[in-house]
C-alpha cells in the first residue's frame, strides 16, 4: 500500500480522536491552534481538505499537494468508512473532479 495512503489513514485516526475530545468550543479552539485546521460542524468533526494540505505539510511533515490529496481522499475515506463530500470551484461546476473535500471524521 502507498505510504501516503497509510500516512493519511493515521492522520485521520489522530484528528478523529482529537476532535472527539473537543466537547466545548474552547476545546475546539485549542485543537485548531494545535493542528492549524478548522474543526467545523456541531461536533467539531468536519475538516476541509484545502486546510488539511497545510496541516499535513506543516504539522505532520507529510509532503503532499492538493491534487494528490484530492486523488487519495475517496479511497482512504471509503476504506475507513468516513463521509466525504466533493466541493467544486464557483464557476467550475461542470468539472468531474472536485477541487476539495469536506471530510466528516466521525
Report pLDDT for 47.
98
Residue partners of 59: CB distance under 8 A and separation at least 6 = 34, 35, 36
pLDDT along the chain (106 residues), means of 10: 90 98 94 97 96 98 96 97 92 81 98
C-alpha–C-alpha distance, residues 6 and 102, integer Å = 20
Q: Is 47 helix (H, G, I), strand (E, B) or coil?
A: strand
Report pLDDT for 89.
81
Report pLDDT for 1.
54
Q: Other C-beta atoms within 10 Å of 28: how many? A: 21
Report pLDDT for 19.
97
Report pLDDT for 30.
96
pTM over 0.85: yes
Amino acid at each position: 500500500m502507498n505510504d501516503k495512503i497509510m500516512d493519511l489513514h493515521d492522520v485521520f485516526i489522530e484528528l478523529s480522536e482529537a476532535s472527539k475530545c473537543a466537547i466545548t468550543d474552547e476545546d475546539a479552539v485549542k485543537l485548531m491552534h494545535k493542528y492549524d485546521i478548522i474543526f467545523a460542524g456541531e461536533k467539531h468533526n468536519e475538516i476541509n481538505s484545502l486546510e488539511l494540505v497545510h496541516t499535513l505539510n506543516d504539522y505532520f511533515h507529510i509532503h503532499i499537494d492538493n491534487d494528490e490529496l484530492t486523488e487519495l481522499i475517496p479511497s482512504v475515506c471509503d476504506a475507513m468508512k468516513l463521509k466525504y463530500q466533493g466541493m467544486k470551484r464557483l464557476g467550475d461546476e461542470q468539472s468531474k473532479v472536485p477541487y476539495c473535500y469536506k471530510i466528516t471524521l466521525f
